[in-house]
């Protein structure tokens, strides 16, 4: 069985010292180890951004696609081989800006994959513009007079889109986040985890201490994760910031509806000599 160190990549990590992405990386590796996964059966799929570099920093198969498109790629990988563990991960810009459409559709499909947003409320890689999750009024390079729009609320989007597992974690609480990610991966169906990820370079106004002050754990206040409406109420809280599982429900997953991959994943199907006579018959 694999241990955390089996998921250690040989490459130097290029994130800023103190970046919240480190905590997410440690938690992700911890979750894989906790679930006893083998590196070759895991694919980490990302888009582009600071957070998007994560496939290189973890020893599994990786797919570092284009900005905002981690989820379609992850969907293709999962449907091609649903025996793999597929984790899509990317920034708040990646998932809620350019890729918002895919985010909603991936949630409603209830694919058995996990999607993590590294939510630092900023475009990190492109050196500090407002992101769709940046709260109204925040001054960034692209919004010198303050962001004029209300932010997107990722857990609320996931709940609205029909996700069957919706959670939020904090990169400063690695044991809690590890557990959340492990539960998300173990969940049969799509799991969405929004992760508070302090950006120490471009969001100095959002330091670890502020998150620590504001957050509380849902499991400590008797929240019932089977109650969708209660989940919505928690998701829209602004004064205090809940972390933990907002919502979890069991529903048939996308691949349950595909009879021909019950016994073996698509990639294992023999294609050496396909008989097309049935198809041709229709055109005779």
Residues near other proteins, by CB under 8 A = 11, 39-43, 45, 48, 53, 55-56, 59-66, 69, 71-81, 83-84, 101-102, 105, 258-261, 266-267, 269, 271-274, 276-280, 283-284
Q: By C-beta, is 75 or 134 nearer to Mg ion?
A: 134
3 state DSSP class of 195:
strand
Residue with tokens 């889109």: 161
Q: By C-beta, is 19 or 180 nearer to Mg ion?
A: 19
Q: By C-beta, is 132 or 184 nearer to ligand TPP?
A: 132
Instruction: Give yes or no for a contact between 155 and 194, defined as CB atoms under 8 angstroms apart.
Output: yes
204 Cα distance to chain centroid: 24
User: Contact between 91 and Mg ion (CB under 5 A)?
Assistant: yes
User: Contact between 102 and ligand TPP (CB under 6 A)?
Assistant: no
Could you give the C-alpha distances from 138 to 123, 149, 151, 195, in angstroms and in order?
13, 10, 11, 20
Residue 40: name its binding partner from other proteins, ligand TPP, Mg ion, none (Cβ under 5 to 8 Å by kind).
other proteins
Task: Supply 174's token pair.
Answer: 């690695």
3 state DSSP class of 192:
strand
CB of 19 to ligand TPP, least distance (A): 9
What's the sign of the alpha-carbon dihedral 14, 20, 22, 27?
A: negative
CB of 280 to ligand TPP, least distance (A): 42
Task: Supply 164's token pair.
Answer: 């069957």
Binding segment (CB under 6 A) for ligand TPP, from list 6-14, 117-125, 172-180, 236-244: 117-125
H or E stretch at 170: strand 165-170
Chain residues that interact with ligand TPP, rule: CB under 6 A = 48-51, 67, 90-94, 118, 120, 122-126, 131
């Amino acid at each position: 069985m694999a241990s955390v160190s089996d998921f250690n990549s040989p490459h130097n990590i290029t994130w800023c010292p103190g970046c919240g992405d480190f905590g997410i990386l440690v938690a992700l590796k911890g979750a894989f180890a906790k679930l006893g996964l083998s590196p070759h059966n895991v694919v980490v799929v990302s888009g582009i951004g600071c957070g998007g570099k994560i496939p290189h920093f973890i020893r599994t198969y990786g797919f570092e696609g284009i900005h905002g498109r981690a989820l379609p790629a992850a969907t293709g990988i999962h449907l091609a081989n649903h025996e793999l563990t597929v984790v899509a991960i990317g920034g708040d810009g990646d998932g809620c800006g350019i890729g918002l459409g895919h985010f909603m559709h991936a949630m409603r499909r209830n694919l058995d994959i996990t999607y993590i947003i590294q939510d630092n409320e900023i475009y990190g890689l492109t050196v500090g513009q407002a992101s769709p999750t940046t709260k109204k009024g925040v001054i960034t390079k692209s919004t010198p007079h303050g962001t004029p729009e209300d932010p997107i609320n990722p857990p609320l989007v996931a709940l609205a889109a029909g996700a069957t597992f919706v959670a939020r974690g904090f990169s400063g609480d690695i044991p809690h986040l590890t557990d959340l990610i492990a539960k998300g991966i173990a969940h049969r169906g799509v799991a969405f985890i929004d992760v508070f990820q302090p950006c120490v370079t471009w969001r100095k106004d959002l330091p670890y201490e502020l998150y620590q002050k504001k957050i509380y754990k849902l499991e400590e206040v008797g929240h019932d994760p089977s109650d969708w409406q209660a989940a919505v109420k928690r998701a829209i809280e602004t004064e205090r910031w809940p972390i933990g599982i907002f919502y979890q429900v069991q529903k048939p997953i996308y691949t349950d509806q595909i009879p021909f991959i019950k016994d073996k994943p698509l990639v294992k199907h023999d294609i050496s000599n396909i008989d097309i006579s049935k198809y041709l018959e229709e055109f005779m």
